[in-house]
Amino acid sequence: MIDQTALLESQTLRSSVLDRTDVLDRVKALSLLPDGMHVTTAMVAAYFEVSRKAIESLVLDHREELVTNGYRVLAGTELTSFKEVSGFQSRSRSLALYPRRAVLNVAMLLRDSEVARQVRVYLLDMEYLARTQPVDNPVHKESECLDDRIDQRITHILGKTVVPMFNALIETSGEHRKELIALRAGVQRIERRLHQHHARLQRLEGVRDDRPAVGVMAAMDAMNGRTFERHIAKLLIRDGCTNVVVQGGHGDRGVDIIGLTADGRRLVVQCKRFAPYLNITSPDIQKFVGSAKVLYSADVALYVATCPFTPEALSIAAEAGITAVHRGVLEEWSAGEPLRILE
């Protein structure tokens, strides 16, 4: 099995597993730009929970390798065209873009990130599983199952055959008793490690209740504003709301969606599809309070955003009776968890 250290130090080994970009979402949902294909330096830093400077320093040291895997910097007319096509808004004169393959490349180079370490562990375990999985035999395919993995067969042989053989040899041997005991201990260590590895693979392959549905936020991050509003409207209808109308756009008076809750309360919603590294601030909430409470006399007011809220914004929302649906709550809501305020 490939060792993490070797993976960090060998570009050849890294290249051999770069197609397994799905492991990124298995460890943690990767938010994408509106084009649905790329992320920025700030988004990479947010995913790996490190500073932007750490990512920029890594790019400086491994730029050639990252460029090979899709990393590029846009400027001038190329950047203007990208903004027009993708809908991405930025005042910067240049923009570094990473496709998923380059993000996985970063995960295999970034040493001081727990998220990157988890990606490498998951990646190597899946690679080991792929290499040791028995080749399908059409004749016996129906009888083959998870218990047929090569590591489990070896574990069985070691425990049921090799160790007892050593026990018998030790009992009858005098001259080489010490060496045989040492060899038996080594075999037993291998047996224990294989058991541990099998348990680890079962945890990785099993359903993780604490891990959000893969791609939930990535899909929303790829939406444009109007599509995002319709998505929120569908969630409201799913949770029993009626008379739901999407009215976002010019002349919406600060409210994107109106409707009634299942028990007849007047509902208004503001939707903001912002990049995950931005924040909803107190002026944003204050503006919505006026629209929701004064213009619409709402009983239930939701401020739904794909990014976090500042502490001050959350405080004002709580005082004014606004329900702040930040990125974490939105992910759970979209994945099937009902929004309590609507019940």
- Where do the structural domains in the chain lie, given as residue ranges? 4-131, 137-205, 216-342
Q: How far, in Å, CA of 162 to CA of 155, rounded?
A: 10
pLDDT at 207 over 80: no
Task: Determine which of 65-79, 241-255, 319-333 has the lowest per-residue pLDDT on average.
Answer: 241-255
Find where tokens 């739904």 sit: 304
pLDDT at 44 over 90: yes
Closest by CA position to 341, among listed 231, 268, 261? 261
pLDDT at 154: 64
* Cα 235 to the center of its chain, rounded Å: 22
Residue 156 pLDDT class (50, 70, 90 cuts): low
pLDDT at 68: 92
Structure confidence by residue, pLDDT tens digits, 166-184: 666 666 666 677 777 777 7
Instruction: List, in sequence order, every residue forming a beta bridge with 309; answer none if it has no partner.
Output: 280
Cβ–Cβ < 8 Å for 284, 320 = no
Structure token digits, residue 52: 């932007």
pLDDT at 60 over 70: yes
**Local structure of residue 173 (DSSP, 8 states):** -
Cβ–Cβ < 8 Å for 198, 149 = yes
Structure confidence by residue, pLDDT tens digits, 266-324: 999 999 988 777 889 999 999 999 888 888 889 999 999 988 999 999 999 999 999 99
Find where tokens 């998951």 sit: 122
Structure token digits, residue 276: 């995950």
pLDDT at 331: 85
Residue 260 pLDDT class (50, 70, 90 cuts): very high
Q: What backbone phi and psi angles, to 5 degrees, belong to 68?
A: -60, -30
Structure confidence by residue, pLDDT tens digits, 130-153: 555 554 444 444 444 444 445 555
Burial class of 64 by CB neighbour count within 10 A (0 to 12, 13 to 18, 19+): exposed
- The mean pLDDT value for 47-65 works out to 93
- Give the E-state strand segments of the chain in sequence order: 38-39, 72-75, 94-99, 242-246, 257-260, 266-272, 300-305, 322-325
pLDDT at 129 over 70: no
Three-state SS at 95? strand
Please, what CATH class does the domain formed by 216-342 belong to?
alpha beta
Q: What backbone phi and psi angles, to 5 degrees, belong to 54?
A: -65, -40
Q: How far, in Å, CA of 103 to CA of 24, rounded?
A: 8
Structure confidence by residue, pLDDT tens digits, 8-31: 788 888 888 888 888 888 788 888
Three-state SS at 304? strand
Three-state SS at 283? helix
Three-state SS at 221? helix
Output the average pLDDT for the chain.
79
Q: How far, in Å, CA of 314 to CA of 292, rounded?
A: 16
Cβ–Cβ < 8 Å for 179, 101 = no
> pTM above 0.85?
no
pLDDT at 92: 81
Task: Please tell me which residue, 178 or 71, carries the higher pLDDT value.
Answer: 71
Which residues fall within 8 angstroms of residue 105, CB to CB, at 6 or more apart? 14, 18, 62, 65, 66, 69, 71
Three-state SS at 250? coil
Structure token digits, residue 119: 């990606």
Q: How far, in Å, CA of 89 to CA of 122, rounded?
A: 34
Cβ–Cβ < 8 Å for 333, 306 = no
Residue 106 pLDDT class (50, 70, 90 cuts): very high
pLDDT at 274: 86
pLDDT at 41: 93
